[in-house]
Structure 1
Amino acid sequence: MASSALQNDSDDEDFGEAFKRYKYKNAFSEDKWEQEFDKIPMFMKTAPEEIDPMEYPELACLQAIIHDEDRSPEEQAKSLKDEGNAFFKEKNYLKAIVAYTAALKRNCGDQELDTVLLTNRAAAHFHIGNMRSALNDTTAAKKIKPKHLKALIRGAQCCIELCNFVAAIQWCEDGLNAHPSDKKLQELRAAADKQKRAADRDSRKAKVKEKKLHNEKEALMAAIKERGIKLRQSAKPRQSGSDEDEETSDMLANLSLDGLNSHEATGAQVFLDEHGSMHWPVLFLYPEHQQSDFISAFSESSSFSEHFAVMFGEELPPWDVDRKYHLQNLQVFFEDEETEVLYKLNPETTLLCVLQHKRFFVKAGTPNFIILVNGSPFYKQYLTGRKIRTL
């Protein structure tokens, strides 16, 4: 017990020493603590005859609360405006908005004061990015005082931020009619005009690009129909009675490879080259090793063996640990999921020949094929119990 008491005494001494060394940041000064203490309303001996809100902020606040009902709506509004201005100077824009809003709710009837309040609140909204609210306030201020310079300037700035350059120019024109020599309005007018011309130029370019893409898609649709290629959005069989042309048209809007979980495939889609030849994104699947290869532009006139010669020529893939995926050993299949039939292809067959087969359906814009090693144990196991047909 004695040891514990000694320890406690030591702790108290340490705390006391630390308390002496470190001072409270917001403490009264040692020299003028009595004068500062006397500024707190609860401890004042006598109230000052004139109250400066900067010198006696707590007292000013209390008196404002006590006598608020005795003051006219105009006086209350002005007081709240001053409060909002103080918050604004501190860049506390949210509190400034609250103060200006409270002032406007006093409905004092002073149009000049209401215009200032609306313009000030618009400025606070502007600084925190509430451009639509800022524009609403400047519009309201302009209705009260059509020639109010700050409202006209802030309205033009809001419209520029909202990319409504036509409206911005109109705000500047209205302002310059009332204040023809104002440099800020002149600068905003020039900036709005410049950005409007740039936006118009970009819009024209976008329309030209959109028209070009539309024409390319129309040409692609015509080429697909002409070749008799059938599209499917998914592996599900086409519902009876559905219109195949309509289904083909719907699919053309979704020919990207999103959902394949391959960064190489993302964004690739079928296209026509300058010679009118069609190129498809194609997926090769290797079920034995759960691997795949993606070809972003497989020409319809190319054969499977041409791609195999590149992919399995001098160097075999690293996942082929048994080194058996040689060009002469590869066998290609496609599956008709509706009839559950595997079609065996000659590797010398062109892609177009396969795409035109009556039972081949391009799913999600990407033809896919199964690649096996002919005669391997997995080959025999994979085909066991399946219906096989040769193309």
Structure 2
Amino acid sequence: MSQENPNIGNLSLNNAPASQNEAADQFVESVSAAIPPGMQRNQQMSADEILKEMNRVPLFMTSLDETDGDGGDNTMLEAIKALAYEGTKAEVAENFRQQGNEAAREKLWKDAREFYTKGIQALRGQVKTTEAEDDPSLKVVELDEEAETKKERSIEEACLSNRALCNLEMKNYGSCNRDCAAALSINPRNLKAWYRAASACLALDKLPEALDACASGLQFDASNAALRSLQTSIEARRDHLAGVEASRREREERVRSEAATLKKALRERGVVVRETASPPEMEDARIQLEDPSEAGSEVRFPVLFLYPLHAQTDFIKAVGEAESVGQHLEYILPLPWDEKGEYRVEDVECYMETSSGGLIKVGKKLPLIKSLASGKVEVVDGLVRVFVVPKARAAEWIEEFKKRRGKQ
């Protein structure tokens, strides 16, 4: 066995002499005294409390915490925010412009717009900047007022033009145009402002204004490719809309002409028509001419066959004026719900209501136009109504019809 080295061993405070325990206590006290008070406080905090505390330090922030944890201001954050407004108006505005440019490169349009707005506000004195004269201990630097003013106008122009881009991308076209107008009031030769104003007008289909903006920009640079390309797009849109408008006017004129021709055709045939406030839904069915432009061509009518004794109907979209109701009853009858076999062509009678509220019998072989042109019938809401009843029950139904109409 190897001999133990008397100089190496384990320190046991419990078994050590009193003098050794006192030395250890002094060592712990000296170490504790060397730890800064802030770190001693952190040793007594939980992990969640430490993370919350770190979030108040701008370098480690994952969310904005503007307090010091005790209801006061976060002095570190306030100091950093104050730096943003340190310097002359031009320097502050330029700082915001650069931040706006960085956000715009990332297509963070809302953030970029905010930075440009702050830059504009700084130039217009709408935010406080820290000037040298506010602090007597700072050295006052004499500025060339003319050069400074020129610099400020240049930065303001850039902020306005760039904010116009943000508004354009965010589809705030009115705001875009206002920013462009403000930028152009500073520098009428700002081609980007003319381009963005034209783009906003195009998006709003304000084509004359869009073309005017392009022309205004091109007068300063006739070969500008972006403006020329946009001008071509605007002209194409103008031509397209002109074509759509011409087609609409042509269609409306055709509808008016066809309506006048149909009205003439019905008048010449002696057909009386009347419209009510609640016409029935007939989809595309309507009174129409075979040739809409020729009053002498065949007129076709939507016809509704009603079976009032059984509360049933059949709808025919187009019945020619020379056709008879019997021709259509030939393929409609017999009816699937007619269990008693009462509805056969030879066993039914047809009626139309007169304009005075009475009834007129319709010959099953008579051309439809003969019944409509009798002077007693009117076509209501473009629909011809024909009542079909079994002969054996016709008198019964007529009496009931008169009672409902108050004829007895």
Q: TM-score, normalised on structure 1?
A: 0.65
Q: Of 197, 202, 207, which residue of structure 2 is paired with 1:155?
A: 197
Assess if the C-alpha contact under 8 Å between 2:84 and 2:95 holds in 1. Answer: no
Name the residue aligned to 1:276.
Answer: 297
> Residue 300 of structure 1: CA displacement?
1.9
Question: Aligned-pair distance for 1:297?
Answer: 2.1
Aligned to 1:305: 326
Q: Please, which of 146, 160, 163 is the counterpart of residue 118 of structure 1? A: 160
Cα distance between partner residues in 2 of 1:96 and 1:283: 67
Distance of 2:96 and 2:358 partners within structure 1: 81
Residue deviations 1:203-257 (CA, integer Å, cap 9, x gap): 333333332222222222222333333332228xxxxxxxxxxxxxxxxxxxxxx
Identity fraction in percent: 23
- Residue 220 of structure 2 corresponds to residue 178 of structure 1: yes
Task: Identify which of 134, 145, 148 aligns with 2:176.
Answer: 134
Structure 1 residue 346 corresponds to structure 2 residue 388: no
Tell me what 2:4 maps to: none
Letter in 1 for 2:233: A
Asked if 1:385 corresponds to 2:400, the answer is yes
CA distance in structure 2 between the aligned counterparts of 1:319 and 1:128, rounded to whole angstroms: 64
Matches within 5 A, 1:367-382: 367-376=384-393, 382=397
Partner amino acid for 1:326?
A: R
| Whole-angstrom CA distance in 2 between matches of 1:91 and 1:318 | 69
Q: Note the alpha carbon deviations across 1:1-47, whole angstroms, 9 max, x for none.
A: xxxxxxxxxxxxxxxxxxxxxxx9xx89xxxx9x848998878xxxx
Counterpart position of 1:332: 350
**Letter of the structure 1 residue corresponding to residue 246 of structure 2:** R
Query: Any residues of structure 2 matched to 1:234-253 within 5 Å, and which?
Result: 234=276
Deviation at 1:304, TM superposition (A): 1.0
For residue 61 of structure 1, report the CA deviation from its aligned partner. 5.9
Q: Return the index of the structure with the highest Cα Rg.
A: 2
- Whole-angstrom distance in 2 between the partners of 1:80 and 1:186: 32
Q: 1:169 aligns with which of 195, 211, 214?
A: 211
> CA 1:348 to 1:173, structure 2 compared with 1: closer, same or farther past 3 Å?
same
State the SS of the aligned residue for 1:387: helix
Superposed, which structure 2 residues align to 1:42-81 within 5 Å? 62-63=78-79
CA 1:41 to 1:348, structure 2 compared with 1: closer, same or farther past 3 Å?
Answer: closer
Deviations 1:360-388 (A, max 9, x none): 23222222232333325xx5654333339
Match of 1:207 in 2: 249
Contact 2:279 2:381 in 1 (8 A): no
Aligned partner of 2:78: which letter?
A: L
> Aligned AA for 1:230?
V
Unmatched runs of 5 consecutive residues or more in structure 2: 1-47, 69-73, 126-148, 404-408
Tell me which residue corresponds to 1:260.
280
Are the equivalent residues in 1 in contact too, given 2:66–2:77 (CA < 8 A)? no
Amino acid aligned to 1:221: K
Structure 1 residues 137 and 36: CA distance shift in structure 2, 3 A = closer
One-letter code of the match for 2:326? S
| CA deviation after TM superposition for structure 1 residue 302, in Å | 1.7
1:266 Cα deviation (Å)? 0.9
The aligned residue for residue 252 of structure 1 is none
Q: 1:251-294, CA deviations, whole angstroms, 9 ceiling, x for partnerless residues?
A: xxxxxxx9635xxx313322222352222223223334433332
Answer yes or no: is the 8 Å Cα contact 2:280–2:381 preserved in 1: no
Question: Residues 286 and 90 (structure 1 numbering): CA distance in 2 closer, same or farther, change over 3 Å?
Answer: farther
Q: Which residue of 2 aligns with 1:6?
A: none
- Higher RCO (C-alpha 8 Å, min separation 6): 1
In structure 2, the residue corresponding to 1:375 is in which secondary structure?
Answer: helix
Partner Cα distance (2:192, 2:90) in 1: 22
Q: Answer whether contact 1:331 1:374 (CA < 8 A) is retained.
A: yes
Query: Are residues 214 and 259 of structure 1, via their aligned partners in 2, closer, same or farther at CA, if it must alter by over 3 Å?
Result: closer
Shift of 1:181: 2.8
* Whole-Å separation in 2 of the counterparts to 1:297 and 1:361: 17
Q: What displacement does 1:155 show? A: 1.9
Question: What per-residue deviation string (whole Å, max 9, x for no partner) do you get for residues 275-333 of structure 1?
Answer: 52222223223334433332222222221112222333xxx454445454322233322
Residue 360 of structure 1 is aligned with which of 349, 374, 377?
A: 377
